[in-house]
């Protein structure tokens, strides 16, 4: 039964990737990026304001870290996808997102002292090759001629921001309950994104875009993190993280149904390589270098 929680989370995230594409032409990126967190803050405040205020000494002592986490994980990662959506497809966005576990693993090795494994090295190379095949539509030589599509480049930056966020979250271990930590990061996102929202063009909330904002707020901003944290609590982080590999597959399926996006051979090859690389990095755990007999004896 507990496997339903991470599965639900990745369904919400995959659906939100398609929602990112549906926002094009009905609401400006800066608008939905701000409104989703504003609405999330409004929904969470009645439940979390009082316990969060009781935790004020901890929040004050870690204010700088919380601000960095809110900027990276909420403001940059979540909002860049809306700016990327007009320039790429939802399927491409989902496949680029599949790089996140590998990026997080590489950063964990570099910053947290995790053991370097053969799977991490080989898997990173294979996954990155897969993403390159997707963002170049199967023509790797186009990188030297045209560069990377702007939307795909934004998604790469977004994924890198979230990988850094995940690493810092583990490294800092801020002593707050998960929901309170999520809540204060949501408040950071509201404050940070407001200036961009204020100076950007606005379509205003209407019957066309309000359902998209509400989905992003309720399902992607609150429902998915809650389901994911519940999965980690009952299944552990390793078994839960495997479910993230379903995001590009579910995104491609939903996009083909809702957006009529056609899947090309390069999507299948690139997406398959990306997932293969992620699985290799998670399951091929032999150390990259073993100690020599002389090192052991010394």
pLDDT tens per residue across span 83-135: 988 888 887 787 777 777 777 777 777 776 666 677 767 777 777 777 777 66
Angle at the Cα of 286 (from 281 to 290), degrees rounded to 5? 135
The span from the CA of 145 to the CA of 157, in Å, is: 21
The span from the CA of 94 to the CA of 282, in Å, is: 19
pLDDT(155) > 70: yes
Token look-up 């996808």 returns 81
Give the list of residues 6+ apart from residue 297 with CB closer than 8 angstroms, or none. none
At residue 114, the pLDDT reads 63
The span from the CA of 134 to the CA of 117, in Å, is: 26
What region does 231 belong to: left with phi over 0, alpha with psi -120 to 50, or beta?
alpha
**Under 8 Å between Cβ of 5 and 151:** no
Residue 294's pLDDT band (cuts 50, 70, 90): very low
When mean pLDDT is compared across 18-22, 139-143, 218-222, 256-260, the lowest value belongs to 139-143
């Amino acid at each position: 039964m507990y496997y339903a929680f991470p599965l639900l989370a990745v369904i919400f995230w995959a659906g939100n990737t398609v929602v990112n594409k549906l926002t094009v032409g009905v609401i400006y990126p800066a608008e939905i990026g701000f409104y989703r967190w504003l609405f999330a803050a409004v929904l969470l405040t009645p439940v979390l304001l009082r316990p969060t205020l009781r935790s004020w000494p901890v929040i004050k002592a870690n204010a700088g870290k919380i601000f960095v986490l809110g900027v990276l994980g909420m403001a940059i990662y979540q909002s860049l996808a809306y700016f990327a959506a007009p320039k790429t497809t939802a399927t491409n966005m989902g496949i680029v997102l599949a790089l996140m576990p590998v990026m997080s693993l590489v950063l964990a090795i570099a910053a947290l002292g995790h053991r370097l494994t053969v799977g991490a090295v080989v898997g990173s190379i294979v996954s990155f090759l897969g993403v390159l095949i997707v963002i170049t539509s199967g023509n790797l030589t186009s990188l030297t001629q045209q560069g990377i599509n702007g939307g795909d480049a934004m998604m790469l930056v977004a994924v890198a921001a979230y990988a850094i966020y995940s690493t810092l979250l583990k490294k800092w271990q801020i002593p707050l309950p998960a929901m309170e930590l999520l809540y204060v990061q949501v408040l950071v996102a509201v404050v940070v994104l407001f200036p961009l929202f204020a100076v950007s063009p606005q379509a205003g909330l209407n019957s066309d875009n309000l359902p998209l904002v509400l989905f992003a707020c309720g399902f992607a901003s609150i429902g998915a993190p809650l389901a994911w944290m519940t999965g980690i609590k009952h299944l552990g982080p390793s078994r839960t993280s495997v479910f993230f590999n379903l995001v590009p597959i579910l995104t491609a399926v939903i996009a083909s149904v809702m957006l009529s996006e056609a899947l090309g051979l390069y999507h299948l090859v690139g997406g398959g390589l990306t997932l293969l690389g992620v699985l290799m990095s998670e399951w091929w755990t032999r150390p990259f270098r073993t100690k020599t007999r002389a090192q052991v004896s010394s």
